[in-house]
Amino acid sequence: MSDAVVIGAGPNGLVAANLLAEAGWNVVLVEANDAIGGAVRSSTEVDSAFVHDTFSSFYPLAAVSPTIRSLGLADYGLEWSNAPSPVGNPLKDGGWALIHPDPADTATALEAHTPGDGQAWLELYSDWKRVGPAITEALLSPFPPVHAGLDLLRHLLGPRGLKRLQLLIGPVRSVGDRRFAGEAAKLLLATNSQHADIGPTRLGSGLMGWLLAMIAQQHGYPVPRGGAGRLTQALADRFTSQGGSIVCSARVDRIVVRDGRAVAVRTVDGDEYTASRAVLADVSAPALYGHLIPREDLPAHVLQRMRWFKWDPGTVKVDWALDSLIPWRDKPDLAPGTVHIADSLDELHQCARQIAAGRIPHRPFLLMGQMTTADPSRSPAGTESVWAYTHVPQRVRGDAGGKLKGAWDSAEAELMAERMEGRIEEYAPGFKDRITARRILTPPELERRDANLVAGAVNGGTSSLRQELFLRPMPGLGRAETAIKSLYLASASAHPGGGVHGACGSNAARAALFHAR
């Protein structure tokens, strides 16, 4: 019998397993897939000479995560690599909105677009340097974040308090309008905010835009050298070097509850893994409460509240192998690793509105990665390993482009990929001619490869305020502790949600250690 069983070897499950093993616990990690990594994996499936990340790629949140930093993953082979520029948007009327590694250079470039915006960028950044550490600590520690919360309060009660409060809770569109005159700087904030599913006119989107743009400015958008999978492999190697064991191809379909306590997990093959101290679940909240725990073991109010759980939108991701670099119409001053494709804030807003209304956008907002630019080991010199993903509704009610129904069969996959390629062509004529291999991952395919990505949801549930902080995953259970003793939710469905920062896993492990004392 082990002290703990962790279900799921995504980054959160692996972080949790590491922290428990470090505390001297005997831990078994049980993973449904035949390989570890969850949504942090890479392979040569698209082209044998190219490494493509199957899901996530850029890890700014890992760069600032106290947990990930504390694990010393460099000792287990993890090396970070950065593109010359972390992130940029090609602009409709020419040129780029680009974050340069030096904030003064970003400011000079924005000033050239619109006088005054360079100074405004530097002000935003200098505020970040003061308040950012408290924000990241508050977000990446268990709720309520007592120490960081007090620190944050001090900054909000100070002379620039009101402006900071607007940044923290305001919509990114109004934050941008207040701070900047030109579209370039506004787009940098707004497109970064769209890594979460909060539309640019919704409360809370300002914080996401500011947070990610400023982390990009301060730390870059790093990628693991050799592929995303190197990050989770380093976590797995650290865990096993401490005596932990990992069992792959073992899908858990039951958490065994005895006298109100989680005591074991059972797999679809009938194998049982017992846990004397805790079970930690890196699975989605709906899977945990809707399937893995027997209904009769759950209080009625939990079942009731789970009905209100809201997923984030679905995703279509396309990976390409190119025989050259992307032929951008306007060459950026520095090549960005992450590229956002959106003509304007209006277009971004329209896209978010269409998704909210259940319609597939006809001009989808694209998040793209130029991976060889970020890490030259990803493909042969002179070529580019590229991906782009875009969001689509969880439940499709229509298509603003008039062609798709949301069946996501191979014909629809092709049509959606062409729509996405069309968007890139507008900024990089000749892009399609450079494609030598392609892989399309539709919402059902993403879910088939990782059960937590339900209909292609990337963040374990919506990031809108109704399901954040103490309301995540549901009111009354906004912590790693669940409705069952010794059972902890360790996935992105728990606070602070999606992204590779390990905080959900770390919160769950700390809670388990605390209660076992």
Ligand X SMILES: Cc1cc2nc3c(=O)[nH]c(=O)nc-3n(C[C@H](O)[C@H](O)[C@H](O)COP(=O)(O)OP(=O)(O)OC[C@H]3O[C@@H](n4cnc5c(N)ncnc54)[C@H](O)[C@@H]3O)c2cc1C
Q: Parallel, antiparallel, or unpaired: how do β-strands 272-281 and 2-7 relate?
A: parallel
Point out the residue whose Cβ comes nearest to ligand X.
10
Q: Could you tell me the smallest distance in angstroms from the CB atom of residue 78 to ligand X?
A: 15
Query: Scanning residues 309 to 348, which ones bind ligand X (CB under 6 A)?
Result: 315, 317
Q: What are phi and psi of 389, to 5 degrees?
A: -130, 160
Q: What letters, b where the CB count within 10 A reaches 16 and e where it falls short, cover 165-199?
A: eebbebbbbebbeebbebbbbbbbbbbbbbbbbbb
* x/- map, 15-54, ligand X, by CB under 6 A: ---------------xxxx----xxx--------------
CB 279 within 8 A of CB 287: no
Binding ligand X (rule: CB under 6 A), the pick from 182, 220, 473, 499 is 499
Q: Report helix, strand or coil for 173.
A: helix
For ligand X, the closer CB: 419 or 495 = 495
For ligand X, the closer CB: 120 or 293 = 293
Helix 172-179 vs helix 345-356: angle between axes, to the nearest 10 degrees?
170
456: its two tokens = 């292609």
Binding ligand X (rule: CB under 6 A), the pick from 217, 390, 491, 507 is 491
* x/- map, 51-80, ligand X, by CB under 6 A: ----xxxxx-x-------------------
Q: Could you tell me the smallest distance in angstroms from the CB atom of residue 5 to ligand X?
A: 10
Q: Could you tell me the smallest distance in angstroms from the CB atom of residue 61 to ligand X?
A: 5
Query: Scanning residues 221 to 260, which ones bind ligand X (CB under 6 A)?
Result: 251-252
Distance CA 201, CA 351 (A): 12
Q: Could you tell me the smallest distance in angstroms from the CB atom of residue 198 to ligand X?
A: 15
Nearest to 143 by CA among 470, 501, 464: 470
Binding ligand X (rule: CB under 6 A), the pick from 492, 503, 509, 513 is 492
10 contributes a contact to ligand X by CB under 6 A: yes
SS3 sequence, 122-158?
HHHHHHHHHHHHHHHHHHCCCCCCHHHHHHHHHHHHC
Q: Could you tell me the smallest distance in angstroms from the CB atom of residue 259 to ligand X?
A: 23
Q: Could you tell me the smallest distance in angstroms from the CB atom of residue 180 to ligand X?
A: 25
Query: Scanning residues 369 to 408, which ones bind ligand X (CB under 6 A)?
Result: 389
| Inter-CA distances, 362 with 220, 309, 405, 424, Å | 31, 28, 13, 14
CB 30 within 8 A of CB 5: yes
Q: Could you tell me the smallest distance in angstroms from the CB atom of residue 113 to ligand X?
A: 26
What is the contact surface with ligand X in residues (CB under 6 A)?
7-13, 30-33, 38-40, 55-59, 61, 251-252, 282-283, 315, 317, 389, 446, 450-453, 458-460, 491-492, 498-500, 504
